[in-house]
Amino acid sequence: MAEPVVDVSGLAKRYGEGTVFDSVNLRVMAGESVAIVGESGVGKSTLLNCLAGLDSWDAGEVRLCGQPLSALDDTARALLRRDRVGFVFQAFHVLPHLDVAQNVALPLLLQQRPDGARVAEVLRAVGLGALGARLPQQLSGGQLQRVAIARALVHRPALILADEPTGNLDPTTATQVLDLLLAQTREHGAALVLVTHSDHAATRTNRLLRLSAQGITES
Ligand SMILES: Nc1ncnc2c1ncn2[C@@H]1O[C@H](COP(=O)(O)OP(=O)(O)O)[C@@H](O)[C@H]1O
Ligand SMILES: [Mg+2]
């Protein structure tokens, strides 16, 4: 059997005495899409950060493309993330002094393979084809969200982690963005883990998981 893109086993995260989650198990294969739902504050963003090796945990393991993250130092984690992961952050994290096209080009520059045609293609796919030269401050919230999505897809990552990626979008644009994310799984074999509050988005993925204080359950 093929190796999962992400393999989470017995993951626990605590802050001091408080437990955010305890014994989360999750495997996502190439080409598979998973929606994670759960109440605010239950630890969805924390879990995504752990999957990307951006946060630490207290027990368990995360394997990304077969590699146990706990065995990797910060540099090795950063390289693995650079090559394999596209992350759509809830708060976008778009760099304010770079224009839209430069923001989207960043993952390719970090890999030392600049590709203006690919940047233009992804910007068109998110409906920002005409806005490449704009600065982030000249964009709406929904447009910024699409910049963040384009940046997460530009380098064709094996794993796409998206934290409420349609939260700021009107229904039509939300559907387009979701179509685009799901197309990466079908057409490019990416694994997608999508945190969402949208019932509609949650019905469109292959699997639906609910995160609670008791752990993660599949429905
Ligand atoms: N640095 C921190 N110190 C203490 N508690 C934190 C910290 N960061 C997050 N938390 C807590 O962890 C829990 C999970 O947060 P989060 O992952 O953002 O939830 P969600 O994304 O599901 O809304 C929340 O109860 C939050 O208050
Ligand atoms: Mg969150």
Question: Where are the chain's structural domains?
Answer: 6-218
**Other CB atoms within 10 A of residue 162 CB:** 26
pLDDT band at 49 (very low <50, low <70, confident <90, very high): very high
Ligand 1 lining (C-beta closer than 6 Å) = 15, 20, 38, 40-46
CA of 45 to the centre of ligand 2 (A): 4
Ligand nearest to the CA of 211: 1
Q: What's the pLDDT score for residue 155? A: 97
pLDDT band at residue 208 using 50, 70 and 90 as cut-offs:
very high
In angstroms, what is the span from residue 28 Cα to ligand 2's centroid? 20
**Token code pair at residue 212:** 């609670």
| CA 44 to centroid of ligand 1, rounded, Å | 9
Stated pTM of the model: 0.95
The per-residue pLDDT for range 127-155, each reduced to its tens digit, is: 999 999 999 999 999 999 999 999 999 99
The CATH architecture that domain 6-218 belongs to is 3-Layer(aba) Sandwich (3.40)
**Residues 23-44: pLDDT tens digits?**
899 999 999 999 999 999 999 9
The pLDDT-based confidence of 199 (bands split at 50, 70, 90) is: confident
Nearest residue (CA) to ligand 1, atom 14? 43
**All residues at 6 or more sequence positions from 17 whose CB lies less than 8 Å from its CB, including other chains:** none
Alpha carbon nearest to ligand 1 atom 16, residue: 43
Give the relative orientation of helices 171-188 and 141-153 as an angle to the nearest 10 degrees. 0
pLDDT beyond 80 at 214: no
> Which listed ligand is nearest to 163 at the C-alpha?
2
Instruction: Please give the residue that has the higher pLDDT: either 91 or 186.
Output: 186
Smallest CA separation from ligand 1 atom 24, residue: 41
Paired tokens of 134: 């704009």
